[in-house]
Structure 1
Amino acid sequence: MAETLAAALFLLRSKPVAVSAHAGDWLIGIAGTFGVFMFVPAGYGLLPPAKLLLLLGCLLQIAGLLSLNRSFALVAAQREIKTGGMYRLVRHPLYASYMLGFVGYVLSNTSMRNLAVAVVVTLLLLARIVREERLLQQDPAYRAYMRRVPYRLIPLIF
């Protein structure tokens, strides 16, 4: 359901005010989005009940998508600045939900490959945050939002 919602919002997304033309932003955006396809089921799980973290990540992803609505994109772009819903807590709730899901997946499908995929995609998402915020900070409204919501991924921590 979460991925169907993401696809629908992507297709129905609003027109951007600005989109990054930097090739690195495009590469990071696409690799960070589709890198998760490199995960593979494993016959072993260090902590099989961690599948619940995957479920929680999925539920938070849906909440984040509903909060973001038609401002969803794969590459750094400025659309309407969202400050409600999940965006009241952190500036990048979708990325936080993905990372929580990665932890759940790796703990319940433990392999070096899955761990490597999780690390690489997490690093791509962190780079994405930096690049997106570089573009969005050009808008005074986003700078004000950053002051109101100082945490990027985890309330009171980061």
Structure 2
Amino acid sequence: MNGAVLYDLAMRLPLAVLMLYNALFVGRDIYAHLFLWTGPRGLTYGTTVASLVATEVYLLLVAAFTLVRLRPVRKLSGIVPRITALAAGLLPASIAWLPKAPPMPGRQVVGTLFIIAGMGLAVVSIGWLGKSFSVMPEARRLITNGPYRLVRHPVYLASLIQGTGIVLIYPSIAAVLIYTVEMILQVIRMGYEERVLRDTFPEYDDYARQTSARLVPRLY
């Protein structure tokens, strides 16, 4: 086994293990809500269960595709793009460590619906990526179908939708600041990914012209 294969394996395992570890805790919460729950089973309960299930599917999908993904054709050199990708991916989780006031029921339902929408879009988008899924700015295959026909970065759109839901449920100045920094990092991250895709696939420029929106059709 050569050094490149070992390096690729070393890059796969931590993310896959992290996703599976988180999936265990989410699975525990799903079990508790479905089989141990003794409270009211209204709209708040239903949206919470739906968001937990969507999160579980997302975590398992990321873990699976991380393990079976294709070897990259090209990687963007430099440490800054990698740090940017890691920070943008991990930063939203830091909101969970902030002090939280009990969420208001109405705001919790709306925020949870945003989380469900974001997770649903992420699952669909990662499903279309398949073995081309990556966290770092790397090129494997150029995906132009499914949600990628509408916007060039649907996974990051999904992350921002999900982040909106989290901020709605637990609003605070710190949460808004974290969310703002994440948006900035995602925009920078998109630029890095577009650079490596453009350098790898000659047809990327045509795709970018046809799918002009990065995140939101007719807006950005």
| TM bin (shorter chain) | over 0.9
Report the CA distance between 1:113 and its aligned residue: 2.1
What root-mean-square deviation, in Å, do the aligned CA atoms of Structure 1 and Structure 2 show? 1.4
Q: Secondary structure at the match of 1:114?
A: helix
Task: Using the TM superposition, name which of 53-62 and 108-117 deviates more.
Answer: 108-117
Matched to 1:147, the amino acid is R
The whole-number CA distance in structure 1 between the counterparts of 2:111 and 2:65 is 28
The whole-number CA distance in structure 2 between the counterparts of 1:129 and 1:111 is 27
The whole-number CA distance in structure 1 between the counterparts of 2:164 and 2:155 is 14
Task: Using the TM superposition, name which of 80-89 and 134-143 deviates more.
Answer: 134-143
Q: Does 1:128 align with 2:189?
A: yes
Q: 1:51 aligns with which of 112, 116, 123?
A: 112
Q: Which structure's CA Rg is the greater one?
A: 2
Written as runs of structure 1 = structure 2, the 5 A alignment for 1:14-53 is: 14-40=70-96, 42-45=100-103, 47-48=107-108, 49-53=110-114
Matched to 1:86, the amino acid is P
Of structures 1 and 2, the one with the larger relative CO (CA 8 A, separation 6+) is 1
Q: Does 1:152 align with 2:214?
A: yes
The whole-number CA distance in structure 1 between the counterparts of 2:63 and 2:184 is 23
The whole-number CA distance in structure 1 between the counterparts of 2:121 and 2:114 is 10
Q: Secondary structure at the match of 2:166?
A: helix
Matched to 2:145, the amino acid is G
The whole-number CA distance in structure 2 between the counterparts of 1:43 and 1:89 is 38
Written as runs of structure 1 = structure 2, the 5 A alignment for 1:44-123 is: 44-45=102-103, 47-48=107-108, 49-123=110-184
Q: Percent of aligned positions with the same letter in both sequences?
A: 27
Q: Which has the higher helix share?
A: 2
- Structure 1 residues 17-65: Cα deviation after superposition (integer angstroms, max 9, x where no partner): 1011211101101111111220126225473222101111010110111
Q: Secondary structure at the match of 2:203?
A: helix
State the TM-score, normalized to the length of structure 2. 0.68
The whole-number CA distance in structure 2 between the counterparts of 1:34 and 1:7 is 15
Task: Using the TM superposition, name which of 92-101 and 38-47 deviates more.
Answer: 38-47
Contact 1:54 1:101 in 2 (8 A): yes
State the TM-score, normalized to the length of structure 1. 0.94
Matched to 1:84, the amino acid is N
The whole-number CA distance in structure 1 between the counterparts of 2:202 and 2:103 is 46
The whole-number CA distance in structure 2 between the counterparts of 1:45 and 1:96 is 25
Give the aligned partner of residue 2 of structure 1.
58
- Structure 1 stretches of 4+ with a deviation exceeding 4 A read none
Structure 2, gaps ≥5 residues long: 1-56
